[in-house]
Amino acid sequence: MSNFKGFHIQVLHPADENTVRSVFEKAPLYFQATKQRLFTEADVTQVLGTDKPNFNKYTFALLDGEDNAKGLLDILQDPNESSRFKIEWLVIAEDVVEEGLDELLEKVAHQWAKDDGGKQFDITLPKGYEAGVSFWKKVGYEVTQEDSENVTLVKAI
């Protein structure tokens, strides 16, 4: 896929465990903020697994010019409401987190969904993950639901 600041996007498949693991290893602060722990192999399986039979699942890696994994995007399309997509994971390696690559992956998600008939994206985050909520608001998402544990944000495509 397209090139941006020397980075490119690659579609991931179930056999790409090492790519997912590589991104997760480079983002311990993300896991501390969202899960209050470091990543586990169960997280890798969740990203690449086929345990979501009611959804069409798309996973992308953001690679640098030397094909080192620096980011991950995982989105789901609801087959019962095919115009609705959900961002499951957007993780950026800490050494490149300030380069705007999260916004690049968000744009990739939107374009992918739009090309597939998408009209809406949502993401649910832990309520205490203020940096994440702030990012999603900055790129146009609005809070639609909030409870004691989570915040759900939505954006029209």
Which tens digit of pLDDT belongs to each residue from 11-36? 998 899 999 999 999 999 999 999 99
Other CB atoms within a 10 A radius of the CB of residue 70 amount to 22
- Overall domain count for the chain: 1
Residue 148 lies in a domain: no
Supply the pTM of this predicted model.
0.87
Give dist(CA 89, CA 34) in Å, integer: 11
Residue 130 lies in a domain: no
**Per-residue pLDDT tens for 126-140?**
999 999 999 999 999
Residue 9 pLDDT greater than 70, yes or no: yes
Residue 138 lies in a domain: no
Q: 49: helix, coil or strand?
A: coil
Q: Which domain holds residue 50?
A: 3-116
Give dist(CA 118, CA 31) in Å, integer: 29
pLDDT of residue 112: 86
Residue 84 lies in a domain: yes
**Per-residue pLDDT tens for 31-76?**
999 999 999 999 999 998 766 555 688 899 999 999 999 999 999 9
Of the pLDDT bands very low, low, confident and very high (cuts 50, 70, 90), residue 79 is confident
pLDDT of residue 133: 95
Residue 17 lies in a domain: yes
Residue 56 DSSP symbol:
E
Residue 43 lies in a domain: yes
Q: What is the mean pLDDT of residues 107-125?
A: 91
Residue 129 lies in a domain: no
Q: Which two tokens stand for residue 102?
A: 């999260």
Residue 143 pLDDT greater than 60, yes or no: yes
The CATH number of the domain holding residue 54 is 3.40.630.30
Residue type, 157: I
Residue 59 lies in a domain: yes
